[in-house]
Copies of this chain bind each other. A is one copy, B any other.
Amino acid sequence: MCELLGMSANVPTDICFSFSGLVKRGGETGPHKDGWGITFYEGKGCRSFKDPKPSCDSRVAELVKDYPIKSKSVISHIRQANRGGVSLENTHPFIRELWGQNWTYAHNGQLTGYEDLPLGHAHPVGQTDSERAFCWIIDKLHQSYQTAPEDMLTMFKEIAGYADELRQLGVFNMLLSNGEYVMCYCTNNLHWITRRAPFGKAQLIDEDMIVDFCEETSDSDVVTVIATRPLTSDEQWNKMGEGEFSVFHFGERVL
């Protein structure tokens, strides 16, 4: 199993605190030693840092942990390989351009029969079930909409339908973003929390680290964090059920 981490916020927010917990699971407090990646959106642009090395001893992960890149939408993943070898091309998140938007995707789980998912324009670069499923979703969306739809929420419900189909092939926990929206889909393991004023303190589970969000935020901030397992021990995370999905728009849950 891999670990997913996503963020959706109404102001550019750094994810250093949550990422500190996540990287520990990459080979130290967790078995996810087969690479990691993180994508930050800044406007319509995004930047990714990826490494097929374990995150707990990756120099690039060190940079990301210490360097407060502020973003409204973040998708991150640490990997324990099942389908596809340990290599950069098999390292999540995966990105494709659709309708002039960067779409970023990360998957946790395992699919069988994924080789039969039909391919159209988008083709996988690597060998994972995850990337193949992503290409299939992108093609479905491209078939449905020539340009970005006005009604994005209906479109996200459609994506949830595709995710339901993929769940028939195995375990499909997913994070997906176009920079404006962050969607999460659960088969068996996904939690989220929305932090807003009054902000308090939180204790990271995987590292001896406490953050006082009060010092880091203003009263109007709304920050949602999505993770495979709760990252803090003293907050109430929402546990998602099988087949459930949520969509966040700059921090606020809209679906």
Contact = CB atoms under 8 A, between A and B. Distances in A.
A123 B96 contact: no
A46 B46 CA distance: 15
Contacts of A49: 47, 49
A233 interface: no
Contact of A126 (B44, B67, B88, B89): B44
Interface of A, helix, strand, loop or mixed by DSSP = mixed
Contacts of A44: 87, 89, 125-126
Q: Could you say which interface size class chain A belongs to?
A: 20 to 34
B125 A88 contact: no
Contact of A88 (B45, B52, B90, B100): B45
B43 A89 contact: yes
A40 to B, nearest CB: 9
Given A60-B63, A63-B60, A87 B121 contact: no
A89 to B, nearest CB: 3
Interface in A125-178: 125-126, 142
A88 B46 contact: yes
Interface in A38-66: 42-52, 59-60, 63
7 contacts: A43-B87, A59-B63, A59-B67, A89-B102, A95-B95, A99-B123, A102-B125
